[in-house]
Amino acid sequence: MSKLTPVLSAHWDEKDSFTIEAYTRHGGYSAAKKALAMEPDAVIQLVKDSGLRGRGGAGFPTGMKWGFIPQGDNKDHYLVVNADESEPGTCKDMPLLMANPHVLVEGCIIACHAIRAKHAFIYIRGEVTHVVRRLNQAIEDAYKAGHLGNGVDVVLHVGAGAYICGEETALLDSLEGFRGQPRLRPPFPAIAGLYARPTVVNNVESISAVPAIINNGAEWYQSMGTEKSKGATLYSLSGHVNNPGQFEAPLGITLREILELAGGIRTGHTLKFWTPGGSSTPIFTQDHLDTPLDYEGVAAAGSMLGTKALQIFDETTCVVRAVLRWTEFYKHESCGKCTPCREGTWWLVQILRDLEAGKGTEADLAKLLDLCDNIMGRSFCALGDGATSPITSSIKYFRDEYIAHMTQGGCPFDPVASTLFVGAGV
Amino acid sequence: MTTSAIVDMITVVIDGFEVSVPKGTLVIRAAEQLGIQIPRFCDHPLLDPVGACRQCLVDIEINGRAFPKPQASCTIPVEPGMIVKTQLTSAVADKAQKGVMELLLINHPLDCPVCDKGGECPLQNQAMSTGRTETRFEGVKRTFEKPINISSQVLLDRERCVLCARCTRFSDQIASDPFITLNERGALQQVGIYEKQPFKSYFSGNAVQICPVGALTGASYRFRARPFDLVSTPSACEHCASGCDMRTDVRRGKTLRRLAGDDASVNEEWNCDKGRWAFKYVTAVDRLTHPLVRNGAGVLVQASWPEALAAAAKGLKENTSAVLVGGRATYEDAYGYSKFARVGLGTNDVDFRSRLSSDEECEFLAAYVVRTSTTYRDIDRADQVLLVGFEPEEESPIVFLRLNKQFRKRALKVTAIASKLSIGVEKLKGDFVKVAPGQEAAAVAKQTLNAKSIILVGERACESAGLLTAVAALADSTGAKIAWIPRRAGERGALEAGAIGNLLPGGRPVADAAARVDIAAVWGVPSLPTTIGRSSDEIFAAVNAGTVGALLVGGVDPLDGLHSDDALRALDKAFVVALEIAPSEVTMRADVVLPVAAITEKSGSFLNWEGRARSFDAAVHDSLNRSDLRILSMIAQEMGTSLNLGTVTAAAKEITSLGAWDGERATMTSVSPAQAPSVSGDQFILTSWRRLLDLGTLQQGEENLAGTARQTVAVISPGRAKSMGVVDGELLKISTSHGSVTLAALVEDIHDDAIWAPRNSRGSQLLVNLGIGHGDVVTVVKI
């Protein structure tokens, strides 16, 4: 198990890991105390030095983002934590908040100090009631213990179940009470974010990584990871693996290594394709088992590290079917603001349904790719881009399988074979 | 005042051509300067950029660094070193635009042949320039029930909508009426209203006009015409003094629609719903078409023109006569009435104020308004604006839009002196200086203004004694500019034309001998009458007293005055020559009725509140109706005098040749405010104003428009409501010795002593029902 570097997840296996007692027992809130004694700029510098990059998907350097907030402008500043984890396959923030909510609260205190904010808002997706309860309790306990309320207040805001609200500006609109639709940038949130005030929007995991960096120093964090992708992160493994779950490991680990830790692919099966960072990132195949899973390594192989949501599909899975399901998700979640995403996903689903049903032609495949070309990079935000990724990448690697649907007049796969209950006599 | 603002210019290269534009210019508009049209839907020069439709994608590089993907040219301002490649020079931009166009069309119904927009549709046009000839979409289109009413006058076809959000952004950003929004998501996104609050905006027609597809249509125009069958004529709006540029579209001699025209210095590209949709009165079935003369049996019968003109001339010649001209005459027509009174009748008894008025107002207009000019541009530059006796949204809606623009742009400070907080002032987040009706003058005196401030005075200021005196004093002591904003489109022109007892054309005081000589010389008459003319009310009183025997009346509603009983009695008694477009309280009492042309049937001009002239040609050419001016000339001829004003052009020429008075400006006599009446128990002091949409004559026959009028209510303060035990919606009976009205109560921000009701709305015609308008005591009981 030497590959793992549990920091955030170090005590998840303890029964009471989510309580303030357990968190304090393991040295919790000492980082906040240490940071509050530092100059805000020194905190920002420390985070910059650590090399921490945004864990929400884009990988933007966290310290640099904090540094964009204008100082001494006599305006309120806000920290907004993006806990609207909705990307298909992504399941890191919710388990983290279930098992260790206080690390986020402590991270908020430190980040607010650094960016001179008095208020942090945590925007959490609406469907995860159990996580909301747990985080609420943690915030309440932190207030009782005096960690919150003395200069920093944390407000937990529960979303209403829209994928688009994970986009940071749509999140801000939703937080302000408007419909969640992305905003025109500039102005960027650092200049005019929440309520038109300078705002930092960070992912749960990015903020949660901060207390350990404060306690252990930038060098400690730098000692993990690769040249440009420092530190450790949570990889969420799901799908056709024997032991799915969250694996906290240094950036740059490979899927082959993680699979070993996870007990391998479903017994008796082989890896067919996988996503490195959720459904919006172009898929990989077994050719990419040794691709280093850091920002640069994945990008060089033609995809994105994204949220490090490793969805594993074995050879029983029909790639066309999987892609159709994802595309239906994007169609459902398109906010409607811009034409390419709104109309494009409406059309993509119809073509893919025909293809899956064996009613398509090669011309349809060409049309599908051309359509993706007209959506990718043409939409208002990244949702439209994300919708095309599984389609274009799957055609790139599995064109034959699409053709097989046409020649056989339907799907060549038995959908039951890919389920967990196959052979259970259901 | 000259301002030579230095504008930073930025030079960019678009499709290989250099263009210099002011800093902040968007790429899409810089391209327009070169004549390069980038297709677009959501972009509108007067709305904030949104970048939603993605139709205007272009390739951009700045100082050699290219954006990795095409950018929406409607959201990106030019920068030094920018090189733009549009669809004309970039294959990527061209494909991006074609791709977006294709996507816009997949869910768009192919119903152009029955769509109102077909033929003038940006989607249709740009589908031709940027679309494919054949569709690749073989799937299922999104369908909706269609159309649905989002107000009584606006219909929404959600299938045709391309979700550009122009309508919702207009309503929010320009009108501050965010009653329509985008709802739902994905391809099911749609424009919608809150079910309990329809799209009741005074400006909703603009949303229809800027809709780039046929999604929003006006109920009155739907399925009436094809754009290419319409003949368009630039026109001026006759409904209020805002002075909108308009376009009138006529099909086979019938006006089918009117649209807001472009005038950046006045209405920009907007107008109000009244200006847009209230034109059916012109084509009303009861339009007067032939002269009528009262016969020996006392019955009005059809007569020939020579017969009618002879009867009119005889009656006017044989009696001491006076002239009443409503505030709706064009500048040239008003000039005709003004000249006719002096030359034809030898009197200064001419008054355009067919409404509540005062002598104080006459003097104020002569001393502070005539020949002055305060403009929309002054509002743009003002440091603060004081509203006195004026509710911009109700009484001059484009002034409201301009105030709102400046409020949203730079938080322009607006202060309203009134008894009730209006919806418009609330939208402007104005300071509401709450006074009891009649006590406005004292509040005006307390205002601190400066030379950069503007006082917008409404015509209702004359209803409070001493108020115009206080306004004049405030302007004198602070240097603030005064703008007088009457409600009716013709009043400013009539003032400049001298259709008022104390002024001759060009602002020449009647009392000034040199001024009279000036005019007499141009008019070719030996002398002009010297006695200051009387007001409408005084003229009616003179008829009833027997000192005036005949009236020449054009476009007057006697029920608009404070003493309508006296007015009607006078009309019954006098020999009346009426120039009208439709039967009215005047024509039914007239001895000679002469049909005149409605606004779309004649040429002329209006002076708006700024004093800015907007001339227009006849939109309907085959009308047999003549202008007031022409008819006045014919009567004069018949009387043996000559006006020499056979045509509008002749009148306009003569007005120009007169020029403005360069002599001494008349001064104003101070008037003291009235004592506040004391109210107790069930007594209130009434205050009221006319709403934009009400029972006004020119709105007749347009039920769809009437459906969006605001509800008729009586407004009282929370304190009085509590002591009376009244809650919203309960009925209040408001009475005077004259009569009563019963209205639903609305508890709002109003002075405790005051009760407000609309002056001329359904169920609340206060001048007729109560015999008062503002500042008098009424008794109010809950029923």
- With CB atoms and an 8 Å threshold, state whether A378 touches B52: no
Residue B309 — φ and ψ, nearest 5°?
Answer: -65, -40
Q: Residue A259 pLDDT > 50, yes or no?
A: yes
Residues B626 and B650 in one domain: yes
Distance between B53 CA and the closest CA of chain A, angstroms: 5
Residue A370's closest chain B neighbor by CA? Answer: B99
Segment B640-654 mean pLDDT: 94
Inspect the interface and report whether the beta carbons of B53 and A334 lie closer than 8 Å.
no
Nearest CA in chain A to B41: A339
Instruction: Give B102's contacts in chain A (Cβ within 8 Å).
Output: 374
pLDDT in tens, A343-362: 999 999 999 999 999 999 99
Give me the residue from B75, B99, B186 closest to A184, CB to CB: B75
Is residue B671 a part of any domain in this protein? Answer: no
Task: Tell me which residues of chain A have a C-beta less than 8 Å from any C-beta of chain B.
Answer: 162, 164, 179, 184, 331-340, 342-347, 350-351, 367, 371, 373-375, 377-380
- Site of tokens 């061209």: B94
CA angle B685, B686, B688 (to 5 degrees): 150
Contacts of A333 in chain B (CB under 8 A): 185-186
Question: Which residues are CB-neighbours of B121 under 8 A, at least 6 positions away?
Answer: B112, B115, B212, B213, B214
Q: Are residues B506 and B648 in the same domain?
A: yes
Domain span holding position B552 = 291-354+489-656
Give the pLDDT of residue B2.
46
Question: Is residue B341 over pLDDT 80?
Answer: yes
**What is the token pair recorded at B626?**
């003549």
What the block records as the tokens of A52 is 């921490």
- Whether A331 and B106 lie within 8 Å, measured CB to CB: no
Last-in-domain residue among B281, B307, B341: B281
Q: What is the CATH number of the domain that holds B164?
A: 3.30.70.20
Intra-chain end-to-end CA distance of chain A, in Å: 36
Q: Which of A346, A367, A378 sits opposite B136 (nearest CB)?
A: A367
Q: Is residue B560 part of a domain?
A: yes
Q: Indicate which CATH number applies to the domain containing B557.
A: 3.40.50.740
The DSSP string of B397-415 is: HHHHHHHHHHHHHH--EEE
Structure confidence at residue A386 (pLDDT): 96
- B194 and B152 within one domain: yes
Whether residues B535 and B458 share a domain: the answer is no
**B108 domain residue, yes or no:** no
Contact check, Cβ <8 Å, A336/B68:
no
Enumerate the residues of chain B whose CB falls inside 8 A of the CB of residue A174: none
Helix (H, G, I), strand (E, B) or coil at A153: strand
Structure tokens belonging to residue B199 = 């799209």
Domain end among B463, B485, B507: B485
In the prediction, which pLDDT does A2 show? 59
Residue B622 confidence (pLDDT): 76
Interface test with A, best of B54, B141, B408 (most A CBs within 10 A): B54
CA distance A73 to A198: 10
CA angle B596, B542, B332 (to 5 degrees): 30
Nearest CA in chain A to B50: A184
Among the listed residues B189, B124, B180, the one whose alpha carbon sits nearest the alpha carbon of residue B155 = B180
Report the pLDDT averaged over residues B280-293. Answer: 91
- 3-state SS, residue A312: strand
Examine the domain organization and report whether B28 and B93 are in the same domain.
yes
What confidence tens digit (pLDDT) does each residue in A404-415 have?
Answer: 999 999 999 999
Q: Are residues B257 and B164 in the same domain?
A: yes
Residues of chain A with Cβ-Cβ distance to B134 below 8 Å are none
pLDDT of residue B659: 86
Cα separation of B669 and B657, whole Å? Answer: 31
Of B52, B185, B186, the CB nearest to A380: B52
Mean pLDDT confidence for A246-256? 97
Average confidence (pLDDT) over A34-60: 96
Paired tokens of B396: 């001059």
Reported as a single tens digit per residue, the pLDDT across B579-597 is: 999 999 999 999 999 999 9
Contact A343 B50 (CB under 8 A): no
Residue B759 CA to residue B765 CA, distance in Å, equals: 5
**Nearest-CA distance B106 → chain A (Å):** 7
Whether the Cβ atoms of residue A265 and residue A259 lie closer than 8 Å to each other: yes
B interface mutation test: which of A346, A365, A370, A385 has the most B CBs within 10 A? A346
CB atoms B103 and A374 under 8 Å: yes
Residue B429 covered by a domain: yes
How many domains in chain B? 5
Name residues whose C-beta falls within 8 Å of residue A34's C-beta, 6 or more positions apart in sequence.
A214, A215
Which CATH number goes with the domain that contains B476? Answer: 3.40.228.10
Determine the average pLDDT of the residues in B393-404: 98
- What confidence score (pLDDT) does residue B440 get? 97
* Tally of CB atoms within 10 A around A42: 12
Q: At what angle do helices B122-130 and B91-106 cross, to 10 degrees?
A: 130
The maximal CA–CA distance of chain A, rounded, in angstroms, is 69
- Which amino acid belongs to residue B183? N
Average pLDDT for B161-167: 97
CATH fold, domain A18-220, is: Rossmann fold (3.40.50)
Distance from CA of B93 to the nearest CA of A (A): 10
Q: Residues in chain B, how many? A: 783
Q: What SS3 state is found at B753?
A: coil
- CB-closest option in A179, A334, A380 to B54: A380
Candidates 3.40.50.300, 1.20.1440.230, 3.30.70.3270, 2.40.50.100; CATH matching A317-406: 1.20.1440.230
**In chain A, where does the domain assigned CATH 3.40.50.11540 lie?**
18-220
Rounded Cα distance, A299 and B711, in Å = 62
Q: Which of B58, B185, B213, B408 would best serve as a mutation to test chain A binding (most A beta carbons within 10 A)? A: B185
Q: Do B417 and B440 meet the contact criterion of CB atoms below 8 Å apart?
A: yes
Residues B89-121: tens digit of each pLDDT: 999 999 999 999 999 999 999 999 999 999 999
- Residue B614 in contact with residue B605, Cβ under 8 Å? yes
Residues in B closer than 8 angstroms to A343, CB to CB, are: 103-104, 106-107, 187
Residue A371, min C-alpha distance to chain B (Å): 8
CATH of the domain at B91: 3.10.20.740
ipTM of this complex prediction, to 2 decimal places: 0.95
Helix, strand, coil shares, percent, chain A, to 5: 45, 15, 40
| Cβ–Cβ below 8 Å for A338 and B142 | no
Long-range contacts: B7-10, Cβ < 8 Å, 24+? B10/B78, B10/B79, B10/B80, B10/B82
Task: Specify if B286 maps to a domain.
Answer: no
Neighbours of B647 (CB within 10 A): 14
Would you state the pLDDT for residue A422? 82
CB contact under 8 A, B186 and A333: yes
Q: Which own/partner contact pairs does A187-191 have at CB distance under 8 Å and 24+ positions apart? A: A188/A68, A189/A80, A190/A65, A190/A68, A190/A69, A190/A70, A191/A68, A191/A70
Encoded tokens for A423: 């052979």
DSSP per position, B113-170: GG-TTTTS-HHHHHHHHHS-SS----SPPP-----EESSSSEEE-TTT-----HHHHI
Q: B4 vs chain A: nearest CA distance in angstroms?
A: 30
Nearest by CB to B106, from A338, A347, A375: name it.
Answer: A347
Asked if B427 and B388 sit in the same domain, the reply is yes
Which two structure tokens, joined as six digits, stand for B436? 């009891």
Domain identity same for B46 and B183 = no
Q: Helix, strand or coil for residue B746?
A: strand
Residue A25: helix, strand or coil by DSSP? helix
CB atoms within 10 A of CB B318: 11
Contact A331 B49 (CB under 8 A): no
Residue B693 near residue B708 (C-beta atoms within 8 A) = yes
Determine the Cα–Cα distance for residues B479 and B768; give it in Å rounded to an integer. Answer: 40
Strand partners, B777: B685
pLDDT (0 to 100) of residue A425: 61
CA distances from B539 to A209, B312, B496, B502 (A): 88, 19, 21, 14
Q: How much is the average pLDDT of B203-228? A: 96
Cβ-nearest to B163 among A336, A374, A377? A336
DSSP strand E in B154-218: where?
154-156, 180-183, 190-193, 216-218
Dist. CA A262–CA A4, nearest whole Å: 11
CB atoms within 10 A of CB A74: 5
| Cβ atoms within 10 Å, residue B168 | 20
Chain B residues whose C-beta sits inside 8 Å of any chain A C-beta: 49-55, 57, 68-70, 75, 95-96, 99-100, 102-104, 106-107, 136-137, 139-140, 142, 162-163, 181-182, 184-189
Which among B52, B104, B140 has CB closest to A343? Answer: B104
Indicate the average pLDDT of chain A: 96
Interface touch B139/A367, C-beta < 8 Å: no
Q: Which of B281, B309, B338 is the last residue of a domain?
A: B281
Task: Verify whether the Cβ–Cβ distance A378 to B99 is below 8 Å.
Answer: yes
pLDDT tens digit sequence for B526-547:
999 999 999 999 999 999 999 9
Across the interface, whether the CB atoms of A339 and B53 are under 8 A apart is answered yes
pLDDT tens readout for residues B232-260: 999 999 999 999 999 999 999 899 999 99
B162 to chain A: which residues are within 8 Å by CB? 339
Whose tokens are 């940006």? That residue is B122
Percentage of residues in chain B having pLDDT higher than 90: 94
Relative to beta strand B575-580, strand B592-595 is parallel
Show the tokens assigned to B504.
């001759």
pLDDT, one tens digit per residue, over B435-446 is 999 999 999 999
Indicate the pairing of strand A245-250 with strand A232-239.
antiparallel
Whether residues B685 and B723 share a domain: the answer is yes
User: Which of B59, B103, B123, B144 best probes binding to A when mutated, by most A CB atoms within 10 angstroms?
Assistant: B103
Q: Are A12 and A99 in contact (CB under 8 A)?
A: yes
Q: Please count the CA atoms within 13 angstroms of the CA of B624 that sit on its side-chain side.
A: 8
Average pLDDT, chain B: 96
DSSP 8-class letter at A337: S
- Residues in chain B closer than 8 A to A162 (CB atoms): 185
Strand positions, DSSP E, B411-568: 413-418, 431-434, 454-458, 481-485, 503-504, 508-509, 550-554
Q: How many CB atoms lie within 10 A of CB B725?
A: 8
Burial class (CB in 10 A: 0-12, 13-18, 19+), A284: buried
pTM: 0.95
For residues B240 and A169, give the distance between their C-alpha atoms in angstroms, rounded to a whole number: 43
Dihedral sign of CA atoms B266, B268, B271, B275 in order = positive
Rg (CA), chain A: 22
**Best residue in A174, A337, A345 to probe B by mutation, most B CBs within 10 Å?**
A337
Distance from CA of A186 to the nearest CA of B (A): 9
Q: For the segment B15-61, what is each residue's pLDDT rounded down to a tens digit? A: 999 999 999 999 999 999 999 999 999 999 999 999 999 999 999 99
- A278: closest CA of chain B, how far (Å): 21
Question: Is the same domain home to B143 and B265?
Answer: yes
The most distant pair of C-alpha atoms in chain B lies apart, rounded to whole Å, by 92
Residues near A350 by beta carbon (within 8 Å), at least 6 away in sequence: B139, B140
Task: Report chain B residues whose CB lies below 8 A from the CB of A347.
Answer: 103, 106, 137, 139
Q: For residues B42 and B59, state if they share a domain.
A: yes
Confidence category of residue B623, pLDDT binned at 50, 70, 90: confident
Rounded average pLDDT over B58-76: 97
Same domain, B227 and B314: no
Residue A334 has its nearest CB partner, among B95, B142, B185, at B185
CA-derived radius of gyration, chain B:
28
Positive or negative: CA dihedral B280, B281, B287, B288: negative
Quick one: pLDDT at residue B1?
41
**CATH 1.20.1440.230 spans which residues of chain A?**
317-406
Contacts of A350 in chain B (CB under 8 A): 139-140
Q: Which CATH class is domain A230-312?
A: alpha beta
Measured CA to CA, the distance from residue A146 to residue A149 in angstroms comes to: 7
